Every structure is written in C-alpha cells, then in structure tokens.
Amino acid sequence: MSATSTTVRIRPRRRFTTPAVLAFTGVAAIMTYCLAPFYWMVVSSLRRSSDLFDKTPIPSPWSLENYRAVLRPGTGFGRALLNSLLVAGITTVLTLVIAVFTAYALARLEFRFKNAVLAVIIATSMFPGIALVVPMLKLFSGTLHWVNTYQAMIVPSMSFALPLAVWNLTAFFKQLPRELEQAAMVDGCTPGQAFRKVIMPLTAPGVFTTAILTFIAAWNEFIIAVSMVNKNSMQTATVAISRFGGSTGFDIPYGTKMAAGVVVTVPLVVLVLIFQRRIIAGLTAGAVK
C-alpha cells in the first residue's frame, strides 16, 4: 500500500503593524469628524419638539413630526427642491458642454501663453463668491433685469463651476495619446467623429466625475441664490431652509431645519454611494484602456 501525503497550507496570521494601526486610526478619525455632524442632524430631526435639546445619542421616543412639518402642503419646500434640481441640472449640463470643448482645445492645440490661459482659468475660481455678489446684483437688476429668474442663479453658478471643470478635463484629455485620433482618421473618421466615437468614450470617467462634482456644488450653492431671488416660488432648497420661521419672530425652528437639511443631503449621499466607483475611476484611473 502506498501512503498518500497531504500538504496543509497554514495561512500566516495578520500582524497589525504600527503603520497599519496608525492608518486605520487616521481613517476612523476622519470618518468620525465628517459624519458626526450629519449623524447629529439626523438624530435631532427625529426628536420631538419638547425633546429637541436632549443630548442622548439616540432619540427616545423618536418622532417624524419635523419631517411632516417640512413636507406638508403649503410650506413651499417641495417647490424649492424642484428649483434646486432644475438649477443644478441645467448648470451641470451647460458646464459640461462648455468645459469638454474648452478642455479638449487646451489639451490638443498648441499656441502661445497656453499655460498662462490655464493659470487664469484656475485663478478665477479663487475669487470669494461674496465679493462678486454686489456687481452681479447691480448688473442683473439694472441692465439685464434677471432678478428672480433661473438664469440669475444658473449663470453665476456656471462661472464658479467652469474653472475647476476645465482644469480637471484638460488634465484628463492630456493623458490621451494623439495617435488615437490619427488612427481613427486613417480609418476614415472625420476629426469630429474621432472625437465623438473614440475620445469621448475613453474620457467618460473623467466627464462623469466632473458632472457629479459640478452638480453637488450647484445643489449646495447658497450665496448667489439668496442674493438674486426674493420670491418664495423661485427660491432653492438651501434658501428655503434659511428662511424657515418659527411660531414667533424670535423662535428658531431647529427641528424643521434639521429635517430639511436631511432631506437636502440624502439625495447627494445616495448619488455618491451609487456612483462611487465611477467617481473613483475618474479621479484616479488613467484614460488609456
């Protein structure tokens, strides 16, 4: 009889080294720092009005009265959410259309002072928004008559979103070798067809990431919206939250503000969680597949 020998592989135990422990501790600290305000906002929104200043980490008993107060008919918060969606959506689409063509031209064309143009584009995003409110308000109210219109919120939001979008997409287009367009044109494509059928599919992660970041910035925008709009039917969700009133002139409705903040934040959280792989791919991956 022949004896058969079996080899048993023993997996080595993981050893928690000092760098790994420090990295894990740092990540945990950053997550706690970032998520603690949102957690407390959710907890506060689920408290009753009489328990609003309770400091327990879990509401007991929990209540939905704040959400009912925010979403009930007549508050105008539903219309404000629709306005935010409309403004953020149009801003994102127009910003992407302009940024894609601008970034492609800056990445492919060779001309003098190209780096200076890129520096000026990114420098325009350094201006504080509050410093531009007064000249824009004078322009929109006196010359263009845009106060209390959607374009009064969309155009300034585009001006703030375009520099970062152009900068990100320019860096992404520069990673693509020029041989891709040349090979496509050798196969019979026109420059426009090469751009549409070859370049755009390869840059989809970068374009998608830019779209998500632009939408989040436009959705959260407050300074322009509160300055250019004073009609309740035109205000966005962020402005509506700031204008929530209590039962008296000196009463601050913390509960309803917390509930409205959760309603405004949750769609962005869900959006990022659904498309997190695409966002990471656009931020880290190369364009050449």
79 has pLDDT over 90: yes
Query: Average of pLDDT values for 10-26?
Result: 75
Kindly state which CATH superfamily the domain 74-284 is placed in. Answer: MetI-like (1.10.3720.10)
Residue 19 corresponds to which tokens in the numbers above?
A: 């760098």
Hunting for tokens 């004896």 — which residue is that?
Answer: 3
27 has pLDDT over 50: yes
259 has pLDDT over 70: yes
Which residue type occupies 199? I
Q: What is the pLDDT of residue 289?
A: 43
CA distances (Å), 225 to each of 89, 204, 243, in order?
15, 30, 12
Dump pLDDT digits (tens) for 39-48.
999 999 999 8
Q: What is the pLDDT of residue 211?
A: 92
The secondary structure of the chain in percent helix, strand, coil, rounded to multiples of 5, reads 70, 0, 30
pLDDT band, residue 80 (cuts 50/70/90): very high
- Among 95, 83, 211, smallest CA distance to 153 is for 83
Hunting for tokens 């609003």 — which residue is that?
Answer: 52
Query: Average of pLDDT values for 92-102?
Result: 95
Residue 12 corresponds to which tokens in the numbers above?
A: 């080595």
Q: Find the helix or strand (DSSP H, E) in which 158 lies.
A: helix 151-174
pLDDT band, residue 216 (cuts 50/70/90): very high
Which residues, including other chains, have CB under 8 Å from residue 156's CB and lie 6 or more apart? 132, 136, 224, 228
Annotated domain spans of the chain: 18-63, 74-284
Dump pLDDT digits (tens) for 139-175.
998 888 999 999 999 999 998 999 989 988 998 888 8
56-78 as b/e, with b when 16 or more CB fall inside 10 Å? eeebeeebeebbebbeeeebebb
> Are 204 and 275 a contacting pair, CB within 8 Å?
no
Window from 12-16, 79-83, 191-195 with minimum mean pLDDT: 12-16
Cα 29 to chain centroid distance, Å, stands at: 23
